[in-house]
Amino acid sequence: MFETLLTLLSANFPIYIPILILTSVALIIASISDIRTREVPDLLNYSLIFVAIGLRAIYSAATGEWSFLVSGLVGLGVFFSFALILFYAGQWGGGDSKLLMGMGAMFGIDIKLNIFSNNAANPSFNALNALADSFIINFFVNMLVAGAVYGLIWSIVLAAKNRRELLVAFFEKMREKNIRLVRMIMFAAMFILLILAVFVRDFAYSVMLLSGAIIIYLTVYLWILTKAIEKVCMIKKLPPTKLTEGDWIAEEVYVKNKYICGPKDLGIEREQITLLKRLKVKFVLVKEGIPFIPSFLFGFLLTLAFGGWWIGFIV
C-alpha cells in the first residue's frame, strides 16, 4: 500500500512534495465546494493549472530536465481535449473539466512511456506495465472507478426514494429516438469487440476485448438509468434570483416567442439571468447533477494507496 506515493517521492523528492500538498488541498476544497454549492471556483481551477506549469517550469530550468515541463504541458493538452469533449457532450460541467486539466498539468503524461515508439517492438516491453507506471493514467482510471461507485450509491438512494416515478421514466427514455440510436451503436460496438476477441491470439487481449464489450453494455444502460434519475430527481424549479452563472437549464425558456436560455447554452450566462429577472420570469427548470468532484479526491487517494491495481484485472 502507498507504493505509488513512495515512488513519486523517491523519483523527484523536492518537487513532488509541493505538488502532492497543493493537489490534496485543491481537491479537498473543490469537493467541499461542489457538495455545498454544486460549483467549483474558477480561481481554484485556474490557480491549479498555472501553479502546476509554474512549478514544472521552475524545476526544469533549475535541473535542465525539460521533459518534466513538457510532460506537464502534454498532460494539460490531453486532458483539455478530453474535458472539452465531455463538456460539449453535456456530461460534465465546466468546473469538472477545468479541474481535470489541472490534474493533467500537475502530474503530466510522461512522454517516455514510448508506447508508440521502437520500444513497443521490444519483446521485453510491456505496454500495460508502462501505462500502470503513469500516475495520471492510474488517477484517471481510479477516478472513474470511484465515480462509478460513488455515483451508483448516490443514484440508488435517489432511486429508492422515487422508485415508482423512476420506473416510468426509464421505459420512456428507452423509447426515445436518440436512446434507440445509442443502443444500436452499442450493440454494433459489442459485436465488433466480440468478433475481435475470437480472432485475437493473445489471451490477455481477448479478455480485454470481452471486458470492453461488457463495460460498454453496462455503461449504456447505466447511462439510461442515470438519465431517468436525472429527469425524476434532479430537475428543480428555481426563480431567476436563485440562479447562478453556469447552471444547466433543463428546458428552453421563451418570452413572447423570443429565446432566452436553454440546454443548448451549456450553462446559463450572467446576462441571461439578468434578462430573466427583468422579464419577470417566475421560474426555470434547472438540472442539478450529482456532485462529481469528490470522485476526483477518492480517485487521487486510491492512486496514492494502490496505484495501478486495475492492471491485475486485465492480465
pLDDT tens per residue across span 62-114:
888 888 899 899 989 988 888 888 777 666 667 788 898 999 999 888 765 44
C-alpha cell at 286: 434547472
Tell me the C-alpha distance between 11 and 72, whole Å.
Answer: 16
Q: What pLDDT is attached to residue 29?
A: 94
- Output the pLDDT for position 11: 56
φ/ψ of 237, rounded to 5, equals -90, 125
Q: Give the tens place of pLDDT for each residue, 136-145.
A: 888 888 888 8
User: Each residue of 159-201: pLDDT tens digit?
Assistant: 788 888 888 888 888 888 888 888 888 888 888 888 888 887 7
Residue 248 confidence (pLDDT): 79
Q: Which three cell numbers stand for residue 149?
A: 461507485
To which H or E segment does residue 286 belong?
strand 284-287
pLDDT of residue 313: 63
Unique residue bearing C-alpha cell 453535456: 90
Which residues are 248's β-sheet partners? 287
Please report the pLDDT score of residue 91 as a whole number.
63
Q: What pLDDT score was predicted for residue 9?
A: 57
pLDDT number for residue 4: 58
Set of cell numbers at residue 162: 422515487
Q: Model confidence over 241-292: pLDDT tens digits?
A: 888 777 778 888 998 888 988 887 777 888 888 988 888 888 898 877 778 8
- Cell numbers at residue 68, please? 518534466
3-state secondary structure 236-260: EEECHHHCCCCCEECCCEEECCEEE
pLDDT at 118 over 50: no
Triad 282, 287, 288: Cα angle to 5°: 110
Can you state the percent helix, strand and coil of the chain, rounding each to 5? 75, 5, 20
Residue range 4-32: mean pLDDT, rounded: 78
Q: Which residue has the cell 492512486?
A: 303
Q: How far apart are CA 157 and CA 161, in angstroms?
A: 6
How far is residue 306's CA from residue 308's CA, in Å, rounded to a whole number? 6
Name residue 162's amino acid. N
pLDDT above 90 (res 5): no
In this prediction, residue 48 carries a pLDDT of: 93
Dump pLDDT digits (tens) for 103-114.
Answer: 999 988 876 544
pLDDT of amino acid 129: 55
Give me the residue label for grid cell 467541499: 32
The sign of the dihedral angle between the CA atoms of 247, 248, 250, 254 is positive
pLDDT digits over 226-248, tens only? 788 877 877 888 898 888 777 77
For 314, the 3-state DSSP assignment is coil
Query: What is the pTM assigned to this prediction?
Result: 0.67
Residue 59 · residue 65 · CB < 8 Å: yes
Residue 255 three-state SS: strand
| pLDDT for position 55 | 92
Q: What are phi and psi of 122, to 5 degrees?
A: -75, 125
